Amino acid sequence: MEILPLGVWLDLLGTFVFGISGALVAVRRGLDIFGIAVLSIAAGLAGGIIRDMILGATPPPAFEESRYLLTALAAGICVFFWHRVLERLNKPVMVLDALGLGVFAVSGCQKSLLFGLDPLPSILLGVLTAVGGGVARDLLVVEIPRVLRDEVYALAAMVGAVIVVAGAALDLSATWTAAIGVVAAFSIRVISVWRGWRAPRAPRS
């Protein structure tokens, strides 16, 4: 049995979770099975592809290996058959989106550090990895991406990425640092929605 590195497991988890969120949005918009697959793939793979192209890791693993595409498609198939079960959860898209946000923020930052980037660019690339899939999903259904609204979204991803950088600087366990980063980003995102927190807006005259 192949033992995959932590970064690959995080990418696969993020791909599946974001894929489900994209597929759920497709179901809510009344799209057919092809539309569900497209949104699942876009949401699941866009963030990692953006990260890998910036890092120069080409072709991106999402195109080089079939496991990522199959994971995104599996998420879409799960939603196609069991979306009624998922819809019974409280705010399923938001919760899954928050989990994917945390996972990709951590994996994006970790991979950037492994490629030798400084801490600040690694944090930025972690945030870009985290928000890329959600942006692609929202644009495909003609919505303003969440990262551009007044919700606490990118900030939550940034916290997860900062934890990864801090853990690396302190030479802490990569696994524990990743877990803490994912939980922190997920919690901040969910709590911000629950409490109605908003990012500051420019004052209007």
- pLDDT of 205 reads 59
Q: How many CA atoms lie within 13 A of 16 on its CB side?
A: 10
Instruction: Express each pLDDT in 20-59 by its tens digit.
Output: 999 999 999 999 999 999 999 999 999 999 999 999 988 9
Is residue 7 very low, low, confident or very high in pLDDT (cuts 50, 70, 90)? Answer: confident
Is residue 2 very low, low, confident or very high in pLDDT (cuts 50, 70, 90)? Answer: very low
Tokens at 99, concatenated: 């989990």
Element spanning 118, H or E: none
- pLDDT of 88 reads 77
Tokens at 62, concatenated: 């999402």
- From residue 114, alpha-carbon distances to 57, 155, 159 in Å are 12, 23, 19
Instruction: Express each pLDDT in 144-179 by its tens digit.
Output: 888 887 678 889 999 999 999 999 999 999 999 999
Is residue 197 very low, low, confident or very high in pLDDT (cuts 50, 70, 90)? Answer: confident
Question: In this model, does residue 200 exceed pLDDT 80?
Answer: no
Q: Which of 171, 154, 169 is nearest to 108 (CA)?
A: 154
**In the chain, domain spans:** 6-195
Instruction: Express each pLDDT in 62-119 by its tens digit.
Output: 999 899 999 999 999 999 999 888 877 767 788 888 999 999 999 999 999 999 999 9
